[in-house]
């Protein structure tokens, strides 16, 4: 009788693991399909090189100055 219970446990284990494997396989397939469809109908726009723009460099300098001032203020206590 114990062998029967062990075999039933093994059957349920493989059934559960098979179900999880099947679910994950279907989920990965569907996510890849959705990604393909989104990229096909909504392609990414071209990124403009930010180093060419003077205003972007000026904005970056302001951000760096603000971060530096915040760190200095924090260290003062």
Domain membership of residue 36 as a residue range: 2-42+50-76
* Exposure b/e, 29-63, CB count within 10 A at least 16 = b: eeeeeeeeeeeeeeeeeeeeeeeeeeeeeeeeeee
Domains: count for the chain: 1
- Render pLDDT for 12-70 as a digit per residue (tens, 0 to 9): 999 999 999 999 999 999 999 999 999 999 888 776 655 555 677 778 889 999 999 99
pTM for the model: 0.51
pLDDT of residue 56: 76
pLDDT of residue 50: 52
């Amino acid at each position: 009788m114990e062998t029967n219970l062990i075999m039933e446990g093994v059957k349920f284990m493989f059934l559960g693991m098979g179900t999880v494997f099947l679910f994950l396989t279907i989920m990965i397939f569907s996510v890849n399909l959705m990604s393909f469809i989104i990229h096909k109908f909504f392609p990414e726009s071209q990124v403009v090189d930010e180093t060419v723009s003077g205003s972007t460099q000026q904005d970056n300098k302001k951000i760096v100055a603000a971060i530096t001032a915040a760190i200095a203020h924090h260290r003062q206590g």
